[in-house]
Structure 1
Amino acid sequence: MDRMTPLDALFLEAEDEEAGVSMAISSIAVFEGPAPATEEFATLLQGRLPLIPRYRQKARQLPFDLGPPVWFDDEHFDLDYHLRRTALPAPGGDEELSALTARIMAARLDRDRPLWEYWLVEGLRHGRWALISKLHHCMVDGVSGTDLYGVVLDPTPDPQPPIADDWSPQPEPTTPALTAAAVGQLLLTPIRQLRLVASGLRHPRTLARSSWSVGRGLLALSEAIRPVSRSSLGGSLAIGRRFAFGRADVAEVRAIRHALGGTFNDVVLTAVTGGFRELLLSRGETPNRLSVRALVPVNIRAPGEESIRDNRVSLMYARLPVHIEDPVERLAAVRAQLDNLKSAHEVDSVALLTELAKHEPFPLLAPVYRFAARFPQRSVITVVTNVPGPRQPLYALGRRLVEIIPYVPIGSTARIGVSILSYCDSVAFGVTGDFAEADLDVLVDGVRKSLTKLAGAASAV
């Protein structure tokens, strides 16, 4: 039995069935054909399960929130339940694949089973097929979820042998046992807090430097409380989702950053900013400095920790400069703002708050999580994630993986989310929307248009 971290528990608590909020993350892996038989893929997956313990574990919340939710073995684990098969209607293009993904991702995962599903999808154009991975955010974040492709798939067309499996499920813990263990952990909380304070006092200079950095970060975070301008981008969520996606080339993004400056993330975030500008203009709304504030997750893993299967992210709250018409000036504004947020240690402050939450009594944290997830805030209008995917080709039963298209969940009053994922030489932009957002293609086209203009400016340098 394992306990969730407070951050993992936050994603579980953030789910709201009444508001139509599912906190599952996803990606669509598109392969060259023909599609394998379900039994063939099940055999492949069965041989990888020893490397992914969470796939055979269930999550359980404790009575009265005495402790964080726990993971325990599913004694009745059934792989057939989690591996599903469907087919796209003709012509099997991007629109059909987007509509299927939206329907799959709108439904909450069954809390009485391990929190994941794989969907084998036939009928894609050019004789291709897809694998839609649906994983609860309490299990993985974008980086660790993407890393699973390297576990399930093969680095060459020749399938690797299955992993020896001697798994035997441990009995499910009883409610009295869980309650007693949680109470014991609560009684130890003051001792752990005193040790934390004592550790800091033993290194006063380090504590002072850290406190100064965190103070600056918290001051920067206070800006994120300021409401954004009212627009059609915010509001309550319907029960249902829409999804759309677009594509770009890694080489194109690199050429832009080398010619115009900035990082890979700066360039793609600028393109997303251009997409939101186009969307607002198409709706007859005037973009301004406070139209769009984005929650930008930041991976805080050390090198080599990509395979750790929990959530290890911090956050930045970035105002997207949708009011700037010129794409080169827009890139400069994005760069300047992200540099300021980094120098203000906003990421460090959020990471420290997340770490300190591990030393707080969970009965105090749980109601705060629920309130934050359901409070109709007006400070964040979207989430924008950028995850680097595999750099080398991967294969499933000898079929080459062609592209990976990411999906990010939305919640609260943020009606649109954007996810970016690179694989080999390609970049995919996935846009999730509330069901009422019927014009997501305008945002996707705006991202593409913004990149094209930036590439033109870069070639002229």
Structure 2
Amino acid sequence: MTELGPLDTGFMEMEDTDRRVSLGIGTVAIIEGPPPAKDELRGWLDRGLERHTRLRQRVRRTPLDLKAPVWENDPNFDLAHHVRWTALPAPGGEEELKELIATELTERLDRDHPLWEVVVVDQLTEDRWVMILKAHHTMADGISEITLLESFCDPAATEVGEDRRPNGKRARTGLLRLLKEAIRAPVTIPRSAVGAVRTLAPVLYAAIAPASESSLNGPIGRQRRYAVARTMLPQVREIAAAFDVTVNDVAVAAIAAAYRRLLLSRGEHPTPTELRIVVPVSTRTTEAQHVLDNRVSAVIAHLPIEVDHPVERLLAAHEQIRRHRSRGETDAEKSLLALSRRLPFGLVAEVFRLAVSFPQRGVVALATNIPGPRHRLTLGGREVIELWPCIPIAMRVRTTIAILSYLDHLTFGITGDYDTTPDIETISSSITTEIAVLLAHARDRQASRRPRPVVRAIGTARSRHVK
């Protein structure tokens, strides 16, 4: 048995404290051809069960919560607990699929069993079917859930014969490093904790400081809405190259434009520092790529929604994210999480409960970028055509956006509160519009940099003489 980490525990406390919240992370795979038979599906899931022991483990809390909850093997594990079959109502289009996804985001996973499930959806138009994978945020973050999905898929050519076991040298190096850290801990932990608190002071202030009134922040209900924005990754890379920014910068700038247009459509005036957004940052190393757990930190940035010009808005978003990362906020959060492992569990849990109960008004949105597979996924030889990400909402944040890359696609999955975000499609349409506008600016910029053809004067004179 292994204990849950502080962040994993925090997600569980968040769900326990607020009955309107369900913290399951979803990945929607749209697949060609007919759906599988039950035995065929079981064969795919068995592949994942062999690779990830966590899929057979449930969470057990200790008496009086004196210690952290632990992962333990489910003595009554039955795969049937984790598979559901359903079909879309007529006409079976993507609108019906998005409504089903929104409903799935409200359903909590059963705490008596391992915290994951698969929903097989039939009768999607154009000879397609859908597999929705859900895992509790306690068990997985966005990257590790994609790893889980891949473990169900047909083995890729690069995985054949691959040995994932660490070699002896690497293991010995890790043991020596841990030994050194244990010896230095009494000295380095207090010092690093002070430094982490100093670095995180702006983050903590951004989270709790009062913000101007906005319809993007406030109480949420139990029902959800879901929308999707599709873009092409090569086009986003073209924009990033033209303006010397990152793909993530372009995505965040498109989100800033979407929220700007949403506020304007609601009759609200976008003002500077109004939109504080949480941007999770992965801290997952290459060695931990295939581990089911949470390895994320975050920065809280101000989206430049007050900037009207698309290129200026892109450069402002780039500068905001660069400034936050250069301050070392993500490393500081890792230090505090490591320190919290040495504190009494009851104290850590109470901090999370207070944080969830506190009516924060500083953060109004969350956007996370998930790098997906670069190779084509297949299930029983059937091609996975698209992947849609979907993440929950909580703590008065009425919308969240997950950005997932797959092959040449970059898909934005948008989750909203049902009652307060009836115009969620404004966000998705604005994202695709902004990418198109930025692409036009990028190509104009590249065209202006190209050298113009030189017309030789002598050649022109000869042409006139011939005439």
TM-score bracket, normalised by the shorter chain, equals 0.7 to 0.9
**1:338 counterpart residue number:** 321
> Are residues 1:310 and 2:293 paired?
yes
Give the counterpart of 2:283 among 296, 300, 310.
300
Q: Which amino acid aligns with 2:424?
A: L
* Aligned partner letter, 2:123: G
Number of the residue aligned with 1:183? none
Q: For 1:18-60, what per-residue CA distance to the aligned partner results, in whole angstroms no more than 9, with x for missing partners?
A: 5410111111011111111123101221233121112111112
Q: Which moved more, 1:223-232 or 1:28-37?
A: 223-232
Given the superposition, is the C-alpha separation of residues 350 and 228 from structure 1 closer, same or farther in structure 2, using an over 3 Å criterion? same
CA distance in 2, matches of 1:105, 1:200: 39
**CA distance in structure 2 between the aligned counterparts of 1:400 and 1:155, rounded to whole angstroms:** 13
Aligned residue pairs total: 424
Aligned residue identity for 1:293: R
Structure 2 equivalent of residue 77 of structure 1:
77
Matched AA of 2:432: R
Aligned residue in 1 for 2:216? 233
8 Å Cα contact 1:218-1:346 kept in structure 2: no
1:311 aligned counterpart, secondary structure: coil
CA distance in 1, matches of 2:306, 2:216: 15
Counterpart position of 1:166: none
Corresponding residue SS for 1:460: helix
User: Given residue 198 of structure 1, which amino acid in structure 2 is its aligned partner?
Assistant: V
**Secondary structure at the counterpart of residue 126 of structure 1:** coil
Tell me how far apart the structure 2 counterparts of residues 282 and 199 of structure 1 sit (CA, whole Å).
Answer: 52
Which residue does the alignment assign to 1:66? 66
Separation of aligned partners in 2, 1:137 and 1:64: 23
- Verify: 1:328 aligned to 2:311, yes or no: yes
Give the structure 2 partner of residue 455 of structure 1. Answer: 439
Look up the equivalent residue of 2:4 and give its one-letter code.
Answer: M
User: 2-side partners of 1:128 and 1:200: how far apart?
Assistant: 54
2:367 equivalent to 1:378:
no
1:267 equivalent in structure 2: 250
Deviation of 1:374 (Å): 2.3
Distance 2:128 2:360 in 1: 42
- Alpha-carbon spacing, 1:193–1:236, altered in 2? closer, same or farther (3 Å): farther
1:419 and 1:430 in contact (8 A); partners too: yes
Q: TM-score, normalised by structure 2?
A: 0.86
- Give how far 1:136 is off: 0.2
User: Which residue pairs with 1:353 in the alignment?
Assistant: 336
Structure 2 counterpart of 1:132 = 132
Match of 1:409 among 392, 396, 406: 392
- Which whole-Å CA distance do the structure 1 matches of 2:128 and 2:103 have between them? 20
**2:187 matched residue in structure 1:** 198
Higher Rg: 2
The separation in 2 between residues aligned to 1:193 and 1:29, in whole angstroms, is 44
1:35-434 alignment, distance < 5 Å? 35-155=35-155, 196-198=185-187, 215-219=198-202, 221-434=204-417
Q: Quick one: distance in 1 between partners of 2:202 and 2:279?
A: 18
Q: 1:70 to 1:220 in 2, by over 3 A?
A: closer
Task: Report the residue type matching 2:71 in the other structure.
Answer: W
TM-aligned CA distance change 1:343 to 1:156, over 3 Å: closer
Give, in angstroms, the shift of residue 427 of structure 1.
Answer: 0.9
List gaps (5 residues or longer) in structure 2: 162-180, 446-467
The two structures have a TM-score, normalised by structure 1, of 0.88
Instruction: Give the drift of 1:409.
Output: 0.7
Given that 2:281 and 2:296 are in contact with CA atoms closer than 8 Å, whether structure 1 keeps it comes out as yes
8 A contact 1:143–1:388 mirrored in 2: yes
For the 8 Å contact 1:416–1:431, the answer to whether it is kept is: yes
Distance 1:443 1:267 in 2: 15
Q: Aligned partners of 1:99, 1:352: CA distance in 2, in Å?
A: 40
Aligned with 1:47: secondary structure?
Answer: helix
Q: Give the alignment's Cα RMSD to 1 decimal.
A: 2.2
Letter of the 2:405 partner, please give it: S
Which residue does the alignment assign to 1:24?
A: 24
Find the aligned partners of 2:129 and 2:189 in 1 and give their Cα distance. 54
Shift of 1:216: 3.6
Equivalent residues of 2:275, 2:363 under 8 A apart: yes
CA contact 2:17–2:353 (8 Å) conserved in 1: no
For 1:97 and 1:17, the matched residues in 2 are separated by 30
Q: Could you tell me which amino acid in structure 1 is paired with residue 61 of structure 2?
A: Q
1:156 to partner: Cα distance: 5.0
Instruction: Label 1:217 to 1:375 Cα distance change in 2 as closer, same or farther (>3 A).
Output: closer
SS where residue 9 of structure 2 aligns? helix
Q: Distance in 2 between matches of 1:242 and 1:37?
A: 30
* Matched position secondary structure for 2:286: coil
Residue number among 399, 405, 424 corresponding to 1:440 in the alignment: 424
Amino acid at match of 2:10: L
Task: State the shift of 1:211 in Å.
Answer: 5.9
Code of the residue aligned with 1:244 in structure 2: it is: A
In structure 2, C-alpha distance between the alignment counterparts of 1:333 and 1:220, rounded to whole Å: 19
Aligned to 2:459: none
